[in-house]
Structure 1
Amino acid sequence: MAMNSILNADNIKKALDAFAVADSFDHKSFFDMIGLKNKSPDDVKKVFTVLDADNSGYIEEEELKFVLKGFAKDGRDLTDKETKIFLHAADKDGDGKIGVEEFIALVKE
């Protein structure tokens, strides 16, 4: 499933451009800029399934590094610092990965 079927491609491009510099990624601003924050929980789940590259039901730390590429192939990799901050913000149960409910809660913050 392409993100463009859920989100506006221009918004995705603008958001990726805004966070093009290493260590500039802010998940709250990113989700707001791409319009995900205003989407239904079902749409947020669809985005989650795209980002869950190995279909494990979780977004693990390794998958988080490539989260921007999930929105557009030319998205950059997150730095280790950004990945850890993102994981820490979402991983409410401390299991080292992000479940779908944790992801929805993070997007809606």
Structure 2
Amino acid sequence: MAVASMLKEADIKAALEGCKAADSFDHKKFFSACGLSGKSSDEVKKAFAIIDQDMSGFIEEEELKLFLQNFAAGARALTEKETKAFLAIGDADGDGMIGIDEFATMVKA
């Protein structure tokens, strides 16, 4: 199941278009544009479960790198710079991973 199944296709397309260029990803703009920030806590948890591809209970750096591909097949990977910045923003406890609560906070911020 892809995160896309919970969102409107046009919103996802617009969100991806907004970060098409390398080093242009802005998580706040992306979550807002694709509609994820307006979803319920349960839906945000479902999105987290999809992004957490190894089902570890955390989103690690390698999963963040492929973040956009959870929204559309063929979407670009995040650059190293974007991935590190995204992780730094979401990793409130400094353990090098993003947990469900950290993800929910980031989506709703």
TM-score normalised by structure 1 residue count:
0.97
Matched pairs, number: 109
Shift of 1:4: 3.2
Aligned match of 1:30: 30
Whichever residue aligns with residue 55 of structure 2, its letter is: N
Shift of 1:10: 1.1
Q: Following TM superposition, where does structure 1 have runs of at least 4 consecutive aligned residues deviating by more than 6 angstroms?
A: none
Whichever residue aligns with residue 88 of structure 1, its letter is: A
Which consecutive unaligned segments of at least 5 residues does structure 2 have? none
Structure 1 stretch 12-21 or stretch 23-32: which is displaced more? 12-21
Shift of 1:5: 2.6
Whichever residue aligns with residue 102 of structure 1, its letter is: E
**2 CA distance for matches of 1:10 and 1:3?**
14
Aligned match of 1:46: 46
**1 CA distance for matches of 2:16 and 2:49?**
20
**2 CA distance for matches of 1:85 and 1:47?**
20
Aligned match of 2:18: 18
Shift of 1:2: 2.8
Identity of aligned residues (%): 55
